[in-house]
Amino acid sequence: MGMLKRLLRNPRLLLVTLIGGVTLTALVQNFEMNLFEAYLYDLRMRASGTVASSSLHTVLVTIDDRALEHLNEYAPLSMRTHASLLKKLGQSNPKAIAYFVDFNDSVPATAPAQPKARPKSDADLFVDEAERITQSGVPVWLGTDVDVTGEVLPPFPLSKLPHRAALIHKDGTMFSEDNVTRRALFSIYDEPVLHVQLASLLTGKSATSDYRGVYFMPEVQANYLLINYSGDTREERHPFEELSAIDILDGKVPVEKLAGKIVLVGTKTKENSNDFVYTPYSRSIFTNPKLVVHANIVETLIKNGAILQATRASDVTLTFLLTCLVIAIVFKTTPSRGVIATVLCSCALAIAGHALFRLTSLWIGLSHPLVGISCAYYIFVPYRLIMEYKKRWDIQRKHEVLIQVEELKSNFMSLITHDLKTPVARIHGMAEVLERSGADPTIVAGILKSTDELNRFISSILELARIESNRVKLARQSKDINKIVEDCLRKFEFEARQKKIRVAADLEPMFPIRIDAPLITKVVSNLIDNAIKYSPEGAEINVKLRESRTRKGFVELEIRDTGFGIAAKDLENLFAKFYRPKNDITMTVKGTGLGLYLSRYFVELHGGSVSVESTEGKGSRFTILLPVDEQAASSSRPEKDKKIFFMNLLKNQEKPGGNAYV
């Protein structure tokens, strides 16, 4: 959801994602991936589990190599033996009997034109037995092959028995081209196959009733369905009850094993490869009996559980959505997270596809979405790298320009400030000469005041240049902090008297502390000067100095005024350089916006801190904490605070604007 919101807020990225998704989806959909999709289908089929044999409705009777050796016969088995086997099966009262045996080599070619003129053959015995069993309520069906002209009839006289097409389909040119049996014929030339006929005996559905998953193939004019295998198809592993024909002929099979079941009779000899097929479970020859596949087709129809295949539209939609998702992930996450997210997306798709396949027998195509995910990642990751390289190149060029501009600015400021100091000093000296020579005191006082303001401004600019060039070094000495504060208060006595401001000092006796006296003097002077300038006439200023109650090894200097105060919206940027709130008060008070920035920098350079509390219209309180020595500064500040301290210094140097109080 968060990624979607970010996409909607970025129209350009949204457009790139949609165009990339549409383009990749169109390209991927143009490629047929039947073989890859068939492999993924087989993986899901093998992982679907095995149905319990007790819930199956079919029983297999195999004519295998052991039966042929026991009977001293060779494939094909004689019709007399088939008749005996059929009689035994009929006595077990099954639901139906279906023969999936090629009788063309077992029955000699006989013209059916004059059946009375020929003697009864073994095939006639088989037909008579089949008709007798059918009349007793157990239908007997023959499965036949199909050629291009339609159904191939069994040889006479077996053609008199009910028969239907029973073709095992192998995926060929129209599908995956790997000759694996995944599909089954449902009907051909509008005639249902034998499997449908057998299933209708248990389901009660007519052969024309709707079955799940049946679809039409116009190329062959036939209806197909996808087999929902009941389990492994390999010998000794499939879930179906399998009985040998020789055991049934010898009476070794209990009658109840076949009662009520659909009996499928077929051959399974190693000499005939046509008795075996490839299935999703194995592609080894002589491994998957064809008779087991017939049983799976019948079970699929009985349970009406054919595999449903998702439509082409759903495949296109899924490919498009996942491709867009991966493109968005590539652009909105880091490369490592992008790899993890792409892998998780592919795994989630595979897991969801398998869950739907197992729980609902729904086959969702995975090949196109998986290829779309891979292409989206491997195409748009380089594209993102190209964009980031271009962006980084632009940033580098801008950075180089900024460095040059910064150097020009520093050189210009240094040149201007140094060149201005000399004429300002001359003006100040000439004003003093005029004062001694009896000139108008008001004019001389104005000149001196202006030169002092200009000198302070130049000094602030020079200090800023020293900070930005990292040329400020502390020269710590043991100094009496009380004397520094008293000197600063004495310096601003005249300004305070002019505005009738009462200044009260409460300075506790203090031992000397190690500080850079000139820098701390500038800090205290600046805060007292601000308190006077931004307070109305008759206000009060209280200055307190004491040992800190909150931080051991620190002294605390508090300067409180009852002036105009500071708006809450300006407190956040108060210590940024060149920042001055826009209000009626600041418009009448001169300043550069550097005083508080420099003050905070000098205090934090000592390892201390400056904080402010203010209410608009009620005054402000500035609190300075200074360590008594270098050891107190380093031991009292945690490592994390040190990092924050230096980050704040860097941030303040980079932030445009300055403070309002100078």
Domain end position, chosen among 307, 340, 356: 307
Q: What is the mean pLDDT of the chain?
A: 83
The tens digit of pLDDT for each residue in 440-451 reads 777 877 787 777
- Name the DSSP letter for residue 168: B
Give the containing element (helix H, strand E) for 412.
helix 367-436
Q: Which domain holds residue 587?
A: 472-654
Taking the C-alpha atoms of residue 247 and residue 61, their distance in angstroms, rounded to an integer, is: 10
Which residues touch 95 (CB under 8 Å, ≥6 apart)?
57, 138, 201, 202, 260, 261, 262, 263
- Residues 598-608 have a mean pLDDT of 87
Lowest-confidence pick of 352-361, 630-639, 641-650 = 641-650
Give the containing element (helix H, strand E) for 371.
helix 367-436
Q: Are residues 481 and 619 in the same domain?
A: yes
Query: Structurally, how many domains does the chain consist of?
Result: 4
DSSP 230-276: -S--STTTSSSEEEEHHHHHTT-S-GGGTTTSEEEEEEE-TT-GGGE
Q: Does pTM surpass 0.85? A: no
Position 662 scores a pLDDT of: 29
Residue whose C-alpha is closest to residue 86's, from 103, 70, 105, 109: 103
Contact 201, 139 (CB under 8 A): yes
Position 587 scores a pLDDT of: 56
Does 557 reside within a domain?
yes
Which ranges of 437-583 does DSSP label H, i.e. alpha helix? Answer: 441-468, 481-491, 493-498, 517-533, 568-571
Position 76 scores a pLDDT of: 67
Does pLDDT of 154 surpass 90? Answer: no
Taking the C-alpha atoms of residue 293 and residue 274, their distance in angstroms, rounded to an integer, is: 13
- Residues 490-514 have a mean pLDDT of 88
Tokens of 45: 């089929």
Does 466 reside within a domain?
no
Residue whose C-alpha is closest to residue 363's, from 48, 41, 49, 50: 41
Position 654 scores a pLDDT of: 42
Position 563 scores a pLDDT of: 85
- Residues 28-36 have a mean pLDDT of 89
**Beta strand 619-627 pairing with 609-615:** antiparallel
Taking the C-alpha atoms of residue 457 and residue 16, their distance in angstroms, rounded to an integer, is: 53
Position 5 scores a pLDDT of: 62
Position 650 scores a pLDDT of: 46
Position 297 scores a pLDDT of: 96
Q: Are residues 256 and 333 in the same domain?
A: no
Contact 562, 640 (CB under 8 A): no
CATH of the domain at 607: 3.30.565.10
- Residues 153-168 have a mean pLDDT of 88
Contact 51, 256 (CB under 8 A): no
Q: Are residues 293 and 339 in the same domain?
A: no
- Residues 420-424 have a mean pLDDT of 72
Q: State the amino acid at position 436 in one-letter form.
A: R
Q: Are residues 259 and 288 in the same domain?
A: yes
Q: Are residues 360 and 414 in the same domain?
A: no
Which ranges of 263-366 does DSSP label H, i.e. alpha helix? Answer: 290-302, 312-332, 335-360
Which residues touch 311 (CB under 8 Å, ≥6 apart)?
none
Q: Are residues 322 and 435 in the same domain?
A: no
Taking the C-alpha atoms of residue 91 and residue 138, their distance in angstroms, rounded to an integer, is: 10
Q: State the amino acid at position 471 in one-letter form.
A: R
Burial tier of 423 (Cβ tally within 10 Å: 0-12, 13-18, 19+) = exposed
Taking the C-alpha atoms of residue 524 and residue 531, their distance in angstroms, rounded to an integer, is: 11
Taking the C-alpha atoms of residue 261 and residue 92, their distance in angstroms, rounded to an integer, is: 10
Taking the C-alpha atoms of residue 656 and residue 579, their distance in angstroms, rounded to an integer, is: 7
* Greater pLDDT, 151 or 457: 457
Helix axes 441-468, 595-605, angle to 10 degrees: 50
The tens digit of pLDDT for each residue in 540-582 reads 999 999 998 888 889 999 999 988 888 877 777 788 777 777 6
- What are the φ/ψ torsions at residue 196 (nearest 5 degrees)? -65, -40
Position 604 scores a pLDDT of: 87
Determine the longest span between alpha carbons in the chain, in angstroms.
Answer: 165
Tokens of 119: 């003697």
Partnered with residue 545 across adjacent β-strands are: 507, 557
Does 662 reside within a domain?
no
Does pLDDT of 522 surpass 80? Answer: yes
**Beta strand 477-479 pairing with 146-147:** unpaired
Burial tier of 66 (Cβ tally within 10 Å: 0-12, 13-18, 19+) = middle
- Residues 233-244 have a mean pLDDT of 92
The tens digit of pLDDT for each residue in 526-550 reads 899 888 888 888 899 999 999 988 8
Q: What pLDDT band is residue 151 in, cutting at 50, 70 and 90?
A: low
Position 644 scores a pLDDT of: 44
Taking the C-alpha atoms of residue 28 and residue 25, their distance in angstroms, rounded to an integer, is: 5
Q: Are residues 22 and 79 in the same domain?
A: no
- Residues 514-525 have a mean pLDDT of 90
Q: What pLDDT band is residue 112 in, cutting at 50, 70 and 90?
A: low
Partnered with residue 184 across adjacent β-strands are: 168, 225
Taking the C-alpha atoms of residue 370 and residue 78, their distance in angstroms, rounded to an integer, is: 54
Q: Are residues 267 and 131 in the same domain?
A: yes
**Beta strand 163-165 pairing with 140-144:** parallel
**Beta strand 513-515 pairing with 540-547:** unpaired
Question: How distant is the alpha carbon of residue 600 from its chain centre?
Answer: 45
* Greater pLDDT, 69 or 122: 122
Q: Looking at the chain, how many residues does it have?
A: 662
Domain end position, chosen among 307, 328, 362: 307
Which residues touch 435 (CB under 8 Å, ≥6 apart)?
441, 444, 448
Q: Are residues 270 and 226 in the same domain?
A: yes
Position 641 scores a pLDDT of: 44
Does 467 reside within a domain?
no
Position 588 scores a pLDDT of: 57
Position 103 scores a pLDDT of: 85
Position 167 scores a pLDDT of: 87
**Beta strand 58-64 pairing with 241-244:** parallel
Taking the C-alpha atoms of residue 620 and residue 534, their distance in angstroms, rounded to an integer, is: 10
Position 149 scores a pLDDT of: 54
Taking the C-alpha atoms of residue 544 and residue 532, their distance in angstroms, rounded to an integer, is: 16
Question: How distant is the alpha carbon of residue 546 from its chain centre?
Answer: 58
Q: Is the dihedral of CA 45, 47, 48, 54 positive or negative?
A: positive
Q: What pLDDT band is residue 332 in, cutting at 50, 70 and 90?
A: confident
Position 136 scores a pLDDT of: 92
Domain end position, chosen among 251, 276, 307: 307
Position 138 scores a pLDDT of: 93
Q: Are residues 252 and 185 in the same domain?
A: yes
**Dihedral of the alpha carbons of 240, 243, 245, 248, in degrees to the nearest 10:** -130
Q: What pLDDT band is residue 655 in, cutting at 50, 70 and 90?
A: very low
Taking the C-alpha atoms of residue 510 and residue 516, their distance in angstroms, rounded to an integer, is: 17
Does 591 reside within a domain?
yes
Q: State the amino acid at position 620 in one-letter form.
A: S
Contact 234, 282 (CB under 8 A): yes
**pLDDT over 70, % of the chain:** 83
Does 460 reside within a domain?
no
Tokens of 269: 């000899």
Q: State the amino acid at position 178 in one-letter form.
A: D
Which residues touch 429 (CB under 8 Å, ≥6 apart)?
none
Position 6 scores a pLDDT of: 64
- What are the φ/ψ torsions at residue 80 (nearest 5 degrees)? -65, -40
Count of CB atoms within 10 A of residue 374's CB? 15
Does 113 reside within a domain?
no
Collapsing DSSP states into helix, strand and coil, what is residue 397? helix
Q: Are residues 359 and 236 in the same domain?
A: no
Position 333 scores a pLDDT of: 84
Q: Are residues 269 and 338 in the same domain?
A: no
Contact 515, 476 (CB under 8 A): yes
Position 320 scores a pLDDT of: 95
Does pLDDT of 249 surpass 80? Answer: yes
